[in-house]
Amino acid sequence: MESKSASIQRKSTNILEKPLSKGRGEINLSTFAFLFSELVQYCQNRSSSVVDLQQKLASLGHHVGTRILDALYLRERGSKRELRLLQALIFVKTTVWKSCFGREADKLELSNDDEKTYYIIENESLVNKFIFVPKDKGSLNCAAFSGGIIEAVLNGLNFPCNVTVHWHKGTTYMIKFEESVLMREKSLESR
Amino acid sequence: MSRQTPRVSVEGRKFSSEVFALTYGALVAQLLKDYENDDDVNKQLDKMGYSMGVRMIEDFLARNNIGRCHDFRDTADIIAKNGFKTFLGITPNVTNWSTDGKEFSLILDNNPLTEFVELPENHSSLSFSNILCGALRGALEMVQMEVEVWFVQDSLKGDDTTEIRLKFIKKLEDALPDGED
Amino acid sequence: MAIYDFYIFHREGTCIYYCQWHGKKPPSPSVTEHNCKLMYGLLYSLKSFVLRISPTDGKDQFSSYRTSKYKLNYYETPSGIKFVMTTDLGVGNIKDIMKSIYRKIYVEYLVKNPFIDVSKPVSSELFVSKLDAYVKELPFFEPKQ
């Protein structure tokens, strides 16, 4: 009986006793590649279309994104949250990208004809590096997973948006913000 | 057309262990949604692990100059010191050999899959890291060893340590040519 | 010197890839299929004879045989994937070359591709083109004049 209660106690305190990860731990990229392959196959078997498959990958990315945000904030920024849209986007392009994929994304651009739309461009997306898309799934872009991460991070920062991925200059992530984000920006500007 | 040529080698490159662990967590969370009970999730994880193991062993053999193992002790050593080291960056202890030399345990001091995990209370039969069992089984089958692999202890469940047990079943032979069986 | 043909056998004994570069006129698909089965039978028998006849203990593996016209080069991975390349008699030991086909082409373009089942005949054009390019770069690829 005594040992049982000890084990229950250990269970409940275990994760809190562990020091917060420094986030610099590294693993063989191949291991991730094989795991990601499995993820893609699993989602593919349960999808009826390429769009469906990409949505499933995005929702897995979402799961990762919401969690990575908390870890990053505690570690890198002393819990100070970004208030301005551009700062948040730069944070994604640099800090988030670096900690997820080892380097910054290549470009951040504002759409010419819509002030709610931004693009993050990655010439060669890491998750596509080891996925060779067969011809019958021509439009499939597995970077939908990374798209899900971005969306979750921006939503978590209170910049609600929708992210889609496109094969353009490598991979282009199209980020469309909700109207409310723009309204808030304008009110912050006028202060 | 840039997507037609992206497959450069990823050999020797590193990836964030944090994102790796979170991605694995995302997979398990998804399986818990897709399947009705923990046993089915365990089975699915084992199946995915098997499929990974089948592929990972080729990657491993292609990069390391390792011949066929002489005996199961040899195999245990290579799994711990080379296999786990290469793919997960850890070196488990090989221990608890059975007297006939056909069973041993791998003790994992830390498990990169569970870096941020706390088991949800209503999933007590979930074997969170079951993918490891499948991967070991798949990889060993490809080098002609049929094995059984299971978790004996899991620190995630409050056990003192994480212990994976491997049992040698039999040696597999080459497939016979057509018309000779 | 010249490279004639090339086979990859999966551990289940299926020929997952066959290609011919030089040599006599390419056989019809049904003949090719039959030849692949013969080849697997030949390898299987040779392997077991070599092992049984071996004067020493240990894992003997044959690496090539020659006839008066051609040489058959053989490499089997510890995971049982079998690579066969037939060449003319002037070609030396090419085990390292077969190993690098395994490492740089088989593993990279088939094993790591989530959409490919490696126990089925190869359907990846990327694999085929990479292999073709690699083989054509080899110094002993072209037949001697």
User: What is the per-residue pLDDT across C25-61, written as a single tens digit (0 to 9) for each?
Assistant: 777 888 888 999 999 999 999 998 888 888 887 666 8
Confidence (pLDDT) at A8 = 41
- The Cα–Cα gap between A68 and B21 comes to 11
Question: Quick check: C144 pLDDT over 90?
Answer: no
Q: Whole-number mean pLDDT of chain C?
A: 89
Closest-approach residue (CA) in chain A for C123: A134
Instruction: Give the H/E segment covering residue A54.
Output: helix A50-76
> Counting beta carbons within 10 angstroms of the beta carbon of residue B138, is it exposed (0 to 12), middle (13 to 18) or buried (19 or more)?
buried
Instruction: Nearest by CB to A34, from B30, B52, B89: name it.
Output: B52
Instruction: Say whether pLDDT at B85 is over 70.
Output: yes
Using a CB–CB cutoff of 8 Å, tell me whether A22 touches chain B. Answer: no
Q: Do C103 and B62 touch (CB under 8 A)?
A: yes
Q: Check residue A71 and give its pLDDT.
A: 83
Binning pLDDT at 50, 70 and 90, where does residue B11 land? low
Q: Tens digits of per-residue pLDDT, B86-112?
A: 999 999 999 999 999 999 999 999 899
On whether any CB of chain A is under 8 Å from the CB of C55, the answer is no
At C135, which helix (H) or strand (E)? helix C125-137
CB contact (8 A) between residue B23 and residue A39: yes
Scanning every residue of chain A, which has its alpha carbon at the shortest distance from the alpha carbon of C126? A132
Least CA distance to A35: which residue of chain C? C114
Residue C56: the pLDDT is 80
Fold of C3-136: Beta-Lactamase (3.30.450)
Q: Do A131 and C109 lie within an 8 Å CB cutoff?
A: no
Convert the pLDDT of each residue in B155-180 to its tens digit. 998 899 999 999 999 998 888 887 65
Q: What is the pLDDT of residues C91-115, one digit of tens each?
A: 999 999 999 999 999 998 899 888 8
Q: With a CB-CB cutoff of 8 Å, which residues 97-136 of chain A face chain C?
A: 130-135
For residue C104, the chain B residues in CB contact (below 8 A) are 9
Angstroms from C34 CA to nearest CA on chain A? 29
Instruction: Return the DSSP state at B144.
Output: T
- Cβ(A33)–Cβ(C111) under 8 Å? no
pLDDT at B141 exceeding the cut of 80: yes
Q: Cβ–Cβ of B27/A35 closer than 8 Å?
A: yes
The answer to whether A76 touches A96, Cβ cutoff 8 Å, is no
The average confidence (pLDDT) of chain B is 88
Fold of domain A47-190? Muramoyl-pentapeptide Carboxypeptidase; domain 2 (3.30.1380)
| Kind plus residue range of the DSSP H or E element containing A28 | strand A26-28
Going from N- to C-terminal start, the domains of chain C cover 3-136
**Which stretch of DSSP H or E encloses residue A72?**
helix A50-76
Q: Over its length of 191 residues, how does chain A's per-residue pLDDT go in tens digits? A: 344 444 444 444 444 455 555 556 889 999 999 999 999 999 999 999 999 999 999 999 999 999 998 888 777 655 577 789 999 999 999 999 998 998 899 999 999 999 999 999 999 888 887 777 776 777 899 999 999 999 999 999 999 999 999 998 899 999 999 999 999 999 988 87
What's B17-115+127-171's CATH class? alpha beta
- Element containing residue B75 per DSSP (H, E): helix B72-78
What local confidence, expressed as pLDDT, does residue A11 receive? 43
| Residues of chain B neighbouring C103 (CB-CB closer than 8 A) | 62-63
Instruction: Chain B: give the shortest CA distance to residue A170, in Å.
Output: 6
Q: Which residues of B touch A (CB under 8 A)?
A: 2-3, 6-8, 10-11, 13-20, 22-27, 29-30, 34, 48, 51-52, 55-56, 59, 86-89, 112, 115-118, 155, 157-159
Asked if residue B45 has pLDDT above 90, the reply is yes
**Are residues A38 and C109, on separate chains, in Cβ contact within 8 Å?**
no
> What per-residue confidence (pLDDT) applies to B12?
64
Mention every residue, 6+ apart, whose C-beta is less than 8 A from residue A120. A89, A92, A93, A105, A107, A108, A150, A172, A173, A175
Judged by CB atoms closer than 8 Å, whether chains meet at C102 and B57 is answered as: no
